[in-house]
Each structure stands twice: as structure tokens, then as C-alpha cells.
Structure 1
Amino acid sequence: MEIYAAYFTALTCFNLALFTRQHLLTRTKRSPHTSPEGEEEESISLADLPDSPDKQAVWDFKRIYFGVYILATAADWLQGPYIYTLYKDDKSLPEPTVAALFTTGFVAAATENLAVPSTTNSLSPSTEEKDHQQQSSATVQATYRDILCDGRLLTLAFTTTAFEGSMYLFVFFWSPALKAARASSASARGVSLENAGENVPGLPFGLIFASFMSAMMLGSMTTSAMNLTSNLKTSSRLTLHTVALATIALVTPVLAKSSETGVFWAFALFEICVGMYFPAMSKLKSEVVEEKVRGKVYGMMRVPLNLFVVLALGSTKEGDAYRHTMFRTAGTLLLIAFVVIARYLD
């Protein structure tokens, strides 16, 4: 299936190589004959934690959790390649309407994200969390004040808005961006745009999306293999570099809009950044945000993210100009995030 099959194969091979390397290193570390004397094991199982149940209970929990998580994520990802093209090409809906439909699903998910922390706390059996539920609204106001007065929390909130907002915009705009790049390449070769439907082959959206997922996996596995989130310093440095690369990745489709290959690999680079971003950001949040207010703080951090995405998609216009504006806007926000991370976290 044209060149994208080769791209997917290459990304998959890189992932297999990293997985094999990581597996061999893990086996070597576990061997008692190869560990230096006195060296402590860096990783511990969940069952070794002070408050953890026995090993069988841990495995039961992991089996149930990952079973549900994999099914839910797979259902979401299977529709990912075809949302835009289904509404735009098959149903011939205008782009603002397609964006509105996409936004509806996002708003539903965002609403659920806001409800989950309180629901989780209400279902928790711990006395501490039950008492936490009974606190007055003054606690929420204090949490807001903590965020506004703490430069590190503000940095995390802004970085979350800039990066994850760019990610959600990317999910919507990658299909039309690649279609426009293919049409532009065809035009440069002398193929009439009026006959593009007959002379230009359609994009293999499923294969492209699979390549993006492989790229994201490559980013995550690279982070794990190089142990780039071992502490606050390394995590902040990784986030800084990830944001810088993501800025380049989102600006490239505007500068090289006539190169289908260039646009694809720019998007693949952004997906690699996504794979590196989440482990780093999770580590930063766990180090910076206190556990007793973590649920509320995470929910508050998503408020500006939700507003940004809804406003950006809600004002979508037909044509390439608006899409390029969104890529430039996302790149600018990521550049600002780079500056504030360097100032408050690095």
C-alpha cells in the first residue's frame, strides 16, 4: 500500500528493537550473577509497596484494569482514522459542521473527566477521602489560590493546555492536512485539481494512523529505555525538549505544506513527542502536586484545556488558511510553554 507501508514497517522495526533491548536489559538486571554487589534494585513490584495487597490481588487488579482499559482505548483508536473522512468525504458535510460534531464528543469526554475525580473519591473506602468529601467549598477556593500563587503549578497547567490542546487539534486536522499536501503535490506534478479525485489515489488513513500510533509507542519506549523520568530534574528536562520538538513538528506542515512526505514525518515526530510527553508530565505532576488535592488540581488544570479546544474547533472555517492558523497558534503556545518550563521547572 504505497510508501506508507514502508513507513509503518520502519517504525514497527524500531519499536521491536527497543522492546528487545529493554527485555534483555531487564533480564540482565534481574540476574543475581550480573548485579554489582551492594547495588539495589531500582524497580519494585506493586506488591512490595507498604499499602499494597498480596501479589494475587495485585495481579487480579491489573488484569481487570488493563482489560477494560485496552478495550476502551482500542474502541476509541479504531474510529480515529475515519472520523474526519467519514463526515467530510462520505457525508459531504462542511468542515465547521464536522468540527462541531468532533467537539460534541470532546465536550462529553471533558465533562466526564471533571466528574471522575469526585466520583472516584466518593467510591473510595478510605476514611481520609471520606472526610475530604465533606470539606466545604473553601477548600476548592484554597486550591485555586494555590495554583495561582505557585509558579510550578501554573507552568504545569499552561503546558497541559498548550500540549494536550495541540494534540486534540492535531487529531482533527491531520487528515485534511495530508489530503491537502497530496493534492498540492499532484498539482505540482501537473495533475489538475479538478481531476484529483480520478488521478490522485486516496490516502490509506488506517495505515497512516497505525504509523502514528507506532511513532507514539516509539516515544514512550525511548523514554522508558533511557530512564528519562527517574526524577524531577530529568522529567522537566525531557518535557522541555519534547515541547521544543513538538513546536517544530507543528510548524513544519505550514512551511512544507506542498510536501506530503514532509507533512507525514512532521506529524510522526509530533506523535513521538506525545509518547514522551505523558510519562514526563505524569512524573512532574506526581512530584509537584500534593496527593491530598491531586484530583481537584488535575480537574482544574483541564478547564483551560477544554476551553481552548472547544473555542478553536468551534470557530473552524472551510479551507487551508484556518488550519494553518491553528498550527501556528499551537506552535506559538508550545514555544511559550518552552519558555515557562525553562524558567520555573528546569
Structure 2
Amino acid sequence: MEIYAAYFIALTCFNLALFTRQHLLVRPKTPSHTSPEEEAEDEESISLADLPHSPDKQAVWDFKRIYFGVYILATAADWLQGPYIYTLYHDAKALPEPTVAALFTTGFIAAAVSASFTENLAVPPTTHSLSPSTEEKDHQQQSSSSAQATYRDILRDRRLLALVFTTTAFEGSMYLFVFFWSPALKAARASSASARGISLENGGENVPGLPFGLIFASFMSAMMLGSMATSAMNLTSNLKISSRLTLHTVALAAIALIIPVLAKASETGVFWAFAWFETCVGMYFPAMSKLKSEVVEERVRGKVYGMMRVPLNLFVVLALGSTKEGDAYRDTMFRTAGSLLLIAFVVIARYLD
């Protein structure tokens, strides 16, 4: 049996244990008794944040059905093709690594462009009594002044600048990891085979191939493990705890990306370093979401989040756009990502912790 099957089973068992502890062994709080008038008033004023605790079970179920139905389909479509992008282009189509990186960058840019348009779809329509020309003119003036104010807010607020840098460093490293994990593990398997005395033919074509689907499933299990552990230990209950969690997560992620450079001859070491990084990804997003919600004002949240992605997109495009064939550039990218995460650790400790 492929050893990666055992890794996947182990990670899945940890997830099942956490799920059992969180949802089956811990009893939910008994809802307080309220009068019919109070219940009616509560149902009318339910916000999205309070929906999970709403007494209206049908509303909760309807929201879950609609949201998770769409989310699962979209995520499944992305994850099903995720393990095979690199190996399809590089191995099956025999394309050089810079070309594969260019194709990956094209998909990344397309996602970034579409995200900028879909942001406005979440804004509910409103009615106006102004004439169309006056309304359009006022809207343009308000949008321009709001954008200028948002830029000024980001440049003046050191906490926002810290969030921008941390987002760029961590999520940029995550996107680079998505591209480089396949060739890194292939190189580690070839190095391990060579260390065992197996002669490599035609660049290691005689070495058994990797089960990319099983490896990717293990990474997703590791990410889910990080997310569930964060939820089970209630590590995002307030700003201080979330900032401390982000601080530790960034440091652990930096170590996880440097290990494949130092221990590239160990296939097992490289795999578990990557699984470690994915666990950090699962812990990062709940903590960062809490930090953003506390630091960024709700009225400008959409614009600020969009602006925060500009340096992230530039970093990923430049890093992938300069990709070169071979292990040296990949090691350089892992070192760069790890170094940026260590700098982010210092920035968080200085301005957010």
C-alpha cells in the first residue's frame, strides 16, 4: 500500500476525532425561554452574524442549504483539478516549467479580475428619487472621494499596513505553494531513490510516480485539521487571541516552507512540511478574518479588502512570471516566501499583537 494512504487515513482520523469532540460530545447551550412577542421581534431583527443562533430553525436550514450547496460545488470543481494542473502541463504535455507557470498565472489573473467585478454584486440595490444624470454624477463623486479616503486610511493606519503585508506574505506564499508542491515532491522522491542506490534514468522516469490525488487529499485534510482545531479551542474569540494565533501561525508556516529546502532529499520530510503548512493555512484564515473584521470599518470593508489584494496579486504574478526550469528557482521561491513570513511575524508582533 502506498504510504500516502496511511498518511491520509491518519489525518482523517484526527479530523473525525475533533469533529466528534466538537459536535457530538459537547452539548449545545439550552436556549432561554422568551415570550412570543420577543421571539417575533428577534426574528425580525436577525442579522447574518446571529443566524446560527437564531430560534428560527427553518431560516438557518434554508441559509445552509443555499450557501453550502453553491460553496461545495465551486470548491469541489477547484479542488478536483488542483492536484493535476502541473503534472498535466509539464509531464503529459511536455511543456517547460516557465510555460506552465505562465498558464497558471493566466488563471490566477482571471480569478483576480472576476473577483473585482463580483464584489459589487453583494451590494443590495437601492431606490433613488434623483434624475439619472444627477444620480450618476453624485455616485461617481462619492465613489472617488470614498476611494481616496480609503487609500489615505490604509497609508495612515499602521495596523492596516501590517494586515496588508501579512496578507501578501502568507497568501502569496500559499499561491506559490499550490504551484511548486508537485515538482518539489517529485524531486524529493527522485533524490530519495538516488540515496537508496537506485540509478535514475532520463531524469528519474524509472522512479514510480506520485499519487497526486491522494497527496492533495491529505493536504486538504491537514488544512481542515487546522481549521477545526482553531474552532474547537475557540482561538478567534477576540482580537488579542486572534492576533496571537496569527503570529504563531505565520512563524510555523515560515518554518514549514524552509524545511523542503534544507531536507529536500527526504520525501517524507518534504511531505510533512507541506502538510504542516496546510495546517497553518487552516488556522490562518479564521484568525485573519477576525483581525480584518476588528481592524477594518464595515462601511469601507469591501474597498479595503479589494485594495489589500493589489500587492498580493502583483507579488504572485511577478514570482510566477519569472519562473525558471530546475530546482534552484523553486528553492529560491521557498526561501523568499519563508523570509517574508518571518518579516510578517515581526510586523504582527510590532503592530497587531
TM-fit CA distance, 1:59: 2.7
| Counterpart residue type for residue 193 of structure 1 | L
TM-fit CA distance, 1:55: 4.6
TM-fit CA distance, 1:189: 1.3
Alignment partner of 1:17 is 2:17: yes
Q: Aligned in 2, Cα 1:125/1:74: closer, same or farther, shift over 3 Å?
A: farther
Question: CA contact under 8 A between 1:47 and 1:55: conserved in structure 2?
Answer: no
Matching of residues 1-346 of structure 1 within 5 Å: 1-27=1-27, 29-30=28-29, 50-51=46-47, 55-121=57-123, 123-125=124-126, 135-194=142-201, 197=204, 199-346=206-353
Find the aligned partners of 1:65 and 1:104 in 2 and give their Cα distance. Answer: 28
Find the aligned partners of 1:51 and 1:10 in 2 and give their Cα distance. Answer: 39
Which piece of structure 1 moves more, 193-202 or 336-345? 193-202
Q: Aligned in 2, Cα 1:143/1:58: closer, same or farther, shift over 3 Å?
A: same
| Counterpart residue type for residue 250 of structure 2 | V
TM-fit CA distance, 1:214: 0.3
Q: Aligned in 2, Cα 1:51/1:248: closer, same or farther, shift over 3 Å?
A: closer
Once the two structures are superposed, what CA deviation does each residue of 1:240-285 show, in whole Å capped at 9, x if it has no partner? Answer: 0000000000000000010000000000000000000000000000
Once the two structures are superposed, what CA deviation does each residue of 1:114-163 show, in whole Å capped at 9, x if it has no partner? Answer: 22222322x44588xx9995514121011001001101100111100000
Structure number with bigger Rg: 2
Question: CA contact under 8 A between 1:191 and 1:199: conserved in structure 2?
Answer: no
Equivalenced residues, count: 330
Question: CA contact under 8 A between 1:252 and 1:266: conserved in structure 2?
Answer: yes
Q: Aligned in 2, Cα 1:136/1:8: closer, same or farther, shift over 3 Å?
A: closer
Question: CA contact under 8 A between 2:18 and 2:229: conserved in structure 1?
Answer: yes
SS state of the match for residue 26, structure 2?
helix
Q: Aligned in 2, Cα 1:133/1:80: closer, same or farther, shift over 3 Å?
A: farther
| Counterpart residue type for residue 179 of structure 1 | K
Find the aligned partners of 2:273 and 2:221 in 1 and give their Cα distance. Answer: 14
Once the two structures are superposed, what CA deviation does each residue of 1:60-95 show, in whole Å capped at 9, x if it has no partner? Answer: 232112101110000000001000000000000000
TM-fit CA distance, 1:24: 3.2
Which piece of structure 1 moves more, 112-121 or 267-276? 112-121
Q: Aligned in 2, Cα 1:25/1:126: closer, same or farther, shift over 3 Å?
A: farther
TM-score of the aligned structures, taking structure 2 as reference length: 0.88
Which piece of structure 1 moves more, 196-205 or 76-85? 196-205
Find the aligned partners of 2:166 and 2:205 in 1 and give their Cα distance. Answer: 44
Q: Aligned in 2, Cα 1:76/1:147: closer, same or farther, shift over 3 Å?
A: same
TM-score of the aligned structures, taking structure 1 as reference length: 0.90
| Counterpart residue type for residue 15 of structure 2 | N
In structure 1, the residue matched to 2:35 is: none
SS state of the match for residue 289, structure 2?
helix
| Counterpart residue type for residue 326 of structure 1 | M
Find the aligned partners of 2:208 and 2:2 in 1 and give their Cα distance. Answer: 10
Which piece of structure 1 moves more, 111-120 or 4-13? 111-120
Find the aligned partners of 1:84 and 1:270 in 2 and give their Cα distance. Answer: 19
Find the aligned partners of 2:192 and 2:301 in 1 and give their Cα distance. Answer: 48
Find the aligned partners of 1:80 and 1:155 in 2 and give their Cα distance. Answer: 30
Q: Which runs of 5+ in 2 are unaligned?
A: 33-41, 129-134
Find the aligned partners of 1:270 and 1:71 in 2 and give their Cα distance. Answer: 25
SS state of the match for residue 193, structure 1?
coil
Q: Aligned in 2, Cα 1:65/1:345: closer, same or farther, shift over 3 Å?
A: same
Find the aligned partners of 2:296 and 2:201 in 1 and give their Cα distance. Answer: 55
Find the aligned partners of 2:167 and 2:45 in 1 and give their Cα distance. Answer: 30
Identity value in percent: 83
Question: CA contact under 8 A between 2:200 and 2:206: conserved in structure 1?
Answer: no
